[in-house]
Structure 1
């Protein structure tokens, strides 16, 4: 069964509302998630737990109100979605973390089982350099 734009929008609504748990209900425990780039969040994660600890947990230490991700654009074809997101967050030191993301997401049924995420590596590196853990 192919996913729809309406379904993917609903899945990402949790992130928009700051409810990561609602979003991650739609992510497989053994998700294959690659964060591209050369920055502190980059890596190849082989589970939901590894991805959360390697990215969102680190971001929560430097972004007091979380990443504040907003869906900007969405393309859906069959079991794939290309999702453009924008972060509207502010770091502990006041740095405006206005980052843009592109996630290429694969759904197995109604569950995300693969993601390739692209973002501004330099901005992430600056975020962590200016806001030490």
Structure 2
């Protein structure tokens, strides 16, 4: 299956609509996902389960309505895509969490097998400092 601009945008619609499971159906169980930075979500995750537990589950504890991701731009070359996203979210304490992201996504046989995610580390750090989780 060839990766196209349209197929990548379609895949990311799950994240935009709050249906993370629709997006994660297209992520390999053994995905190699690095969240860059120095903040509570940063790390090298070697499975879909570890990534979700280390990021989305933690965010769910401080963002009652989720991250509300929106795709801004998609660039596709071969089996990889660069996807720029932004979030429009409000934390438990009312803090706006309008972050920007750039994900470099690698596909194999139609599945996402590797991601390098870049975001505003300072904003993520502040989110967790002001909205502590147990």
The TM-score bracket by the shorter chain reads: over 0.9
Q: Count residues with an aligned counterpart.
A: 133
Match of 2:82 in 1: 82
> Residue 64 of structure 1 aligns with which residue?
64
Unaligned regions of 5+ residues in structure 2, if any? none
- Counterpart residue number, 2:13: 13
Q: Does 1:131 align with 2:124?
A: no
- Name stretches of at least 5 consecutive residues in structure 1 with no aligned partner: none
Distance 1:25 1:66 in 2: 19
Give me the whole-angstrom Cα distance separating, in 2, the residues matched to 1:25 and 1:2: 17
Distance 1:109 1:76 in 2: 15
Q: CA RMSD in A?
A: 0.6
Structure 1 counterpart of 2:103: 103
Distance 1:109 1:30 in 2: 14
Q: TM-score, normalised by structure 2?
A: 0.98
* CA displacement 1:33-89 (0-9 Å, x = unmatched): 000000000000000000000000000000001111000111001100000000101
| SS class of match (2:23) | helix
TM-score (norm 1): 0.99
